[in-house]
Amino acid sequence: MVRRLAERTEGWVAGIRLVALTFQGRQEPAQIEQFLDAIAGARRPILEYLVLEVLGAQPEPLQEFLLQTSFLSRLTASLCDTVTGQKDSAAILELIERANLFLVPLDAAGEWYRYHALFAEAMQHVAHDRLGEDRLCGLYDKASLWYEEHGLLAEAVEAALSAREYPRAADLNRSHCRPPACPE
């Protein structure tokens, strides 16, 4: 159980403490296991902490960047530039990493990152409220185009579906998936 908690919070000490507070009143192992299965960044104590203490402490332009990129499973400067319409995403990603704002490097070169899972979930929750469904669909669409351009076809299809661009997703799937060769 402790191992699952550490895995879900990715070792984030404050997250573990917030979850421990939520455990109060749950004595049965089955209740605790059910809670661990459902733990997410949208859980009230975690969401409140991440929104009020973390997101709220950032300057408005950085908040906007975090919300606009929260749905990306992996981040790189070029992708973030495309999605946000900015030209300084590399510097912003470096700033976020130096500030320890829940950004996890995925490679030694420092080109690819991801947000901490609970942080991403919380930011996605806020992004839905602040940015709205139409704007989020537009961000997904931009990401889909970038993924296609960079040969990441599974991600392009997934983002097109999230953008509700169903014909585009079908076209991507058709144009890039070849049926297996028939034996002679």
Cα 109 to chain centroid, rounded: 21
pLDDT the model gives residue 116: 86
- On whether the CB atoms of residues 172 and 156 are closer than 8 A, the answer is yes
- Residues 16-25 have pLDDT tens digits of 444 554 554 5
Q: Which helix (DSSP H) or strand (DSSP E) does residue 83 occupy?
A: helix 77-84
Structure tokens that stand for 171 in this block: 């076209």
- Residues 107-143 have pLDDT tens digits of 988 899 999 888 888 889 999 999 999 999 999 999 9
- On whether the CB atoms of residues 84 and 68 are closer than 8 A, the answer is yes
Provide the residue-wise pLDDT of the chain in tens; the chain has 184 residues.
445 444 555 555 444 444 554 554 555 666 555 555 544 444 556 667 667 777 788 899 999 999 999 999 999 999 999 999 999 999 999 999 988 888 889 998 889 999 988 888 888 999 999 999 999 999 999 999 999 999 999 999 999 999 999 999 999 988 776 655 545 5
Sign of CA dihedral 156, 158, 159, 161: positive
- On whether the CB atoms of residues 154 and 83 are closer than 8 A, the answer is no
Cα gap 38→117, rounded to integer Å = 13
**Is this model's pTM higher than 0.75 or not?**
no
Provide the CB-side half-sphere exposure for 19 (13 A, CA).
27
- Residue 66: exposed, middle, or buried by beta-carbon count in 10 A (0-12, 13-18, 19+)? buried
